């Protein structure tokens, strides 16, 4: 039995989340890398992040259906996918809240 490595989404300005605890002899994941470079637009980064979040939730949903129907051999695959989707959703909500907070702060500025 082999366990696939957990891949974390790359978020702009945060860096590699999975780099805190390096593991030897683990193949790199085939996950989608985020946009990089100084000429990358903010809007495209946001849309890319939302697309990755949707992909994570779709994967967790399909594994949940497989687990409910008895077609999933390894239940840990579902729990890992559900955890990844949950963390990505929480981070997305936190980033949205910070953006709204910053917008409200800008609107309160006196001209």
Question: pLDDT digit string (tens) for 44-59?
Answer: 888 899 999 999 999 9
pTM confidence score = 0.59
* Cβ-Cβ contacts under 8 Å for 80 (sequence gap 6 or more): 6
Query: What band does 33 get if pLDDT is binned at 50, 70 and 90?
Result: low
Q: pLDDT digit string (tens) for 59-87?
A: 999 999 999 999 999 999 999 999 999 99
Q: What CA–CA distance (Å, rounded) separates 50 from 102?
A: 20
CB-count exposure of residue 24 (10 Å: 0-12, 13-18, 19+) = exposed
Q: What CA–CA distance (Å, rounded) separates 100 from 110?
A: 18
């Amino acid at each position: 039995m082999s366990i696939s490595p957990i891949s974390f989404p790359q978020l702009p300005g945060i860096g590699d989340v999975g780099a805190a605890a390096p593991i030897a002899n683990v193949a790199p994941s085939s996950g989608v890398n985020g946009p990089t470079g100084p000429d990358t637009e903010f809007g495209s980064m946001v849309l890319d992040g939302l697309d990755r979040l949707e992909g994570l939730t779709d994967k967790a949903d399909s594994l949940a259906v497989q687990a409910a129907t008895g077609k999933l051999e390894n239940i840990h695959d579902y729990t890992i996918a559900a955890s990844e989707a949950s963390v990505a959703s929480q981070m997305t909500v936190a980033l949205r809240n910070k953006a709204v907070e910053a917008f409200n702060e800008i609107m309160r500025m006196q001209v």
